[in-house]
Chain A
Amino acid sequence: MSNAIIPLLLDSLASAALIFFAAVGLTLVFSVLRVLNVAHGSLYSIGGYVAASICLFIASRQLNPYLSFLALLFSAVCVAAIFGPLIERGLVRWTYGKSEAVQILITFGLFLILEDLQRVVFGVQSFYEDAPMRLLGTTSVGGVVYLNYQILLIAMALLVVVGLRLLINHTRLGRLITAVVTDREMAQSIGIDTNRIFIVAFSLGVFLAALGGALATPTSGIAPGLGADTMVLAFAVAAIGGLGQIEGAALASLIVGLARVLAIYLVPSLDAVAPYAAMLIVLLIRPYGLFGSVTARRI
């Protein structure tokens, strides 16, 4: 087992990176809009489908294969630009101020619609396009061959954590978002266009979900049902980190990634339950998550 420690850690980081992309958008949207978007997983898989389709197009036209890296980013931007404003203005805004049950039911309805939409548009067969993975080659670590693309994913996840923190702490948009998160009514009263902030924040959440799906495509298959699995895992991560906490999502992704990888290495039969066992333990000790805090209910 001692020769497996470095691979175990590297696998945990790689696993955490994939989970993080799925969870961070969910937690960001919750922090600003106070809406738990159950359709978040569908947006993740749509990002994957669009990225795979563009990469397959690039391959079929024998264009420069390195364009597929741009395609991953471009697909996430497209999905965010189309679905973000459409869903927020068309559906989610009607749920503001409503009970959590109503919000969850409405976004669950959206989830079902998006899942069927994917079947209609992309069919029921599995999608796979691994050009970006093949282009980057492999590296041997501790006798185990890793894809350099997996290491790129870890770097990208770190970049997103830092980028989001910079956006929120050091830009005007970030300060506006912070104001809305802190006190929505006060922000409105001092002239902040909260509707615009909601559209931007929701679209940013969609972008992160779609980016997660797009980045996962070269190392994973995309098939119907992926959205549901992703959503459940993303919710577990967001709950562990504390809903609305970006750094919390990052740390929780690490915990969940480590739990899953440890299970696969040591007790494979617990692979599926390990993330949720981790969630259970954390929530028993800290009911609001690692970075969450009790907030007073305003009347």
Chain B
Amino acid sequence: MTSRGISIGVSRYLSSLERLFRLDRGVPQGKVRWAVDGLAGALALGVVAATPAAAQDKPSALGLGIFTFTSGPAAAYGMPGKNAADLMIDEINAKGGIGGVPVSATYVDEAQGAQGVIAEYRRLAGDAKNQVMVAALSSANCLALAPLADQLEVPTVGWNCDTHQLLMDGKSKYVFRPNGNTVPEFIAYAIYLLDRKPDLKTVAIINPDYAFGHDAAKIFTAALKALKPDVEIVAELYPKLGSPNYQTEISRLTTTRPDVVFSNLWGADLENFVRQAAPRGIFTSSQVILALGETVLQRVPLPDGVIVGVLGDGWWMSPDAKNKPETVKFAEAYKARFGEYPVFPSIKMANALIYVKAAYDAAMQKNGGKWPTRGELAAAMKGSKVETLTGTAQTRADNDGLVDQIVGVTVKTPAQQSPVIGDMVRYKGDSLMPQAGQDPLAWIATLKPEFAKSLPKPGSYK
């Protein structure tokens, strides 16, 4: 057995040990875990430094570590991502792989929690085959993995990772997000809402009880207050992520009689909320915004007029996307294979893989066709501008992404069984983003009603 093999074996053993301690059978595990973390990190670093990729040998296969939720309530969002990855990898391999190297994926279930996800990341990073991580779905896991990516020097593409906190310090060299973040995503809803319902007075919020839910509420509220200072937030509810029952929350929302109910619940939580809220009249008594509503259009009967979006430009039926033959082909292939059309998490994942492929192509073009090192790959991602299935993903100097934001309302059409998004607007990605390094909330506070007036209006994107 080579020294690298021994290192990988020991690293895996330590990762297993860490997972064993994660069972939390007692308090005195802290020191052990720190020790295990340190040892595993050191070993992984050793392995990374010793990989043949550092010598720019073209490998026989390119491994990707792909992190998503494949179990639990969040799988309703995570599995479409995994499905898209399977399909996109097959498509890439059918065209000869990346630079002639076939691509394969190892999936990590994020439902195991941050400690398990970190251990799996280390294990995968320790294997020379895995050159890139596509991680992760959950904002919490993205935040947990980011320091590790820089420590191990592994290019890590946040295929979902909504939290604006991820790249705020602008120092990361190996973490990239070819997506928007919570700032443009939720400002877009505030602007669309004010255009559609300019006389609104009261808003109630129901978001999941973790960073994504609280950040979204903060940004949406700040944008509303900046653009229409007399808006009152009459209720803010944060049910636990994975709650199966929202009946009490629905009663509470109803008693406040809000003009608008805003929610960024997602996955099975969103499905449950919609199914429970619809018969109780919330959709008729208030204007409802479901920020991730597109993901359930094919699963639950959403009424007309609900404001929904795709947290970016990942609506495969948008005018731009429908003009791209490869997008239509991807959507039809997805439908044929998985029985449903892709939802925006599927598109985000597919776009992330296109982004990875584009980075390899650019890096190889730059170094004369040689297989790039991890560092060269990361350099190729920086400042890149990539054509995706649904638009363009531009990477800023701080590694954060600029993508357009599409928002609209649910409408029924004779051509489709499920509701689709109508009365759409497409905001330019850079118009809703603060400059790199700028405090997002301070920037939002400077927005004036004139700013909103300068942006495109609902129905303008046809």
Q: Using a CB–CB distance below 8 Å, which chain A residues touch chain B? A: 3-4, 7-8, 10-11, 14-15, 18, 119, 124-126, 128, 130, 133-134, 138, 142-147, 150, 216, 219-226, 229, 260-261, 264-265, 268-269, 271-272
Contact = CB atoms under 8 A, between A and B. Distances in A.
Contact of B279 (A11, A15, A134): A134
B272 A128 contact: yes
B271 A221 contact: yes
A18 B405 CA distance: 41
A126 B236 contact: no
Contacts of B255: 3-4, 7, 142-144, 265
Contact of B238 (A128, A144, A146, A271): A271
Contacts of A146: 251, 280
A272 B209 contact: yes
3 nearest CB pairs, A to B = A126-B268, A124-B71, A220-B244
Contacts of B257: 143
A128 B271 contact: yes
B254 A143 contact: yes
15 contacts: A7-B251, A8-B251, A10-B251, A15-B247, A15-B248, A126-B268, A126-B271, A126-B272, A143-B254, A145-B280, A145-B281, A216-B245, A265-B255, A268-B235, A268-B236
B242 to A, nearest CB: 6
Contacts of A7: 251, 254-255
Given A145-B281, A223-B268, A264 B237 contact: yes
Given A15-B248, A124-B71, A224-B72, A138 B280 contact: yes
B280 A14 contact: no
A264 B209 CA distance: 13
Contacts of B79: 124-125
B279 A221 contact: no
Contacts of A225: 72-73, 242
A119 B73 CA distance: 12
B84 interface: no
Interface string B222-261: 0000000000000111111010110111011011010000
B247 A14 contact: yes
A142 B237 CA distance: 21
Interface string B270-291: 0110011001110000000000
Interface in B264-312: 267-268, 271-272, 275-276, 279-281
Contact of B251 (A134, A144, A260): A144
B317 interface: no
Given A128-B271, A271-B239, A223 B279 contact: no
B248 A261 contact: yes
Contact of A264 (B244, B249, B280): B249
A221 B247 contact: no
B70 interface: yes
Contact of B71 (A119, A229, A268): A119
B280 A124 contact: no
Contacts of A216: 244-245
Choose among A14, A260, A271 the residue with the greatest number of B CB atoms under 10 Å from its CB.
A271
A269 B213 CA distance: 13
Interface string B50-84: 00000000000000000000111101100100000
Contacts of A119: 71
A145 B280 CA distance: 5
Contacts of A124: 70-72, 75, 79
Contact of B244 (A3, A11, A221, A268): A221
Contacts of B245: 18, 216, 219-220
Nearest to A134: B279
A144 to B, nearest CB: 5
Given A124-B70, A271-B238, A271-B240, A144 B254 contact: yes
B214 to A, nearest CB: 10
A219 B238 CA distance: 19
A124 B209 CA distance: 22
A119 B75 CA distance: 12
B298 to A, nearest CB: 14
A223 B242 contact: yes
Given A11-B251, A126-B272, A220-B272, 19 more contacts: A3-B255, A11-B252, A14-B248, A15-B247, A15-B248, A124-B70, A126-B75, A143-B254, A143-B255, A144-B255, A147-B280, A221-B268, A223-B72, A224-B72, A226-B244, A260-B248, A268-B237, A271-B240, A272-B209
B281 A128 contact: no
A119 B235 CA distance: 36
Contacts of B272: 126, 128, 220-221
A11 B248 contact: yes
Given A264-B252, A268-B237, A147 B279 contact: yes
A244 B396 CA distance: 62
Contact of A133 (B72, B236, B279): B279
Nearest to A263: B248
Contacts of B235: 268
A18 B248 CA distance: 12
Contacts of A265: 252, 255
B135 to A, nearest CB: 19
Choose among A15, A138, A223 the residue with the greatest number of B CB atoms under 10 Å from its CB.
A223
A229 to B, nearest CB: 8
B104 to A, nearest CB: 22
A264 B242 CA distance: 16
Nearest to B70: A124
Contacts of B244: 216, 220-223, 226
A125 B75 contact: yes
B2 to A, nearest CB: 36
A95 B334 CA distance: 51
Choose among A119, A126, A143, A268 the residue with the greatest number of B CB atoms under 10 Å from its CB.
A126
Contacts of A18: 245
A220 B272 CA distance: 7
Contact of B275 (A14, A130, A223): A130
B75 to A, nearest CB: 5
Nearest to B267: A126
A4 B254 CA distance: 10
Contacts of A15: 247-248
Given A260-B248, A264-B252, A223 B73 contact: yes
Nearest to A271: B239
Nearest to B209: A272
Contact of A128 (B242, B251, B267, B275): B275
B247 A126 contact: no
Contacts of B249: 264
B338 to A, nearest CB: 12
Nearest to B245: A220
Contacts of B240: 271-272
Given A15-B247, A145-B254, A220-B244, A268 B238 contact: yes
A143 to B, nearest CB: 7
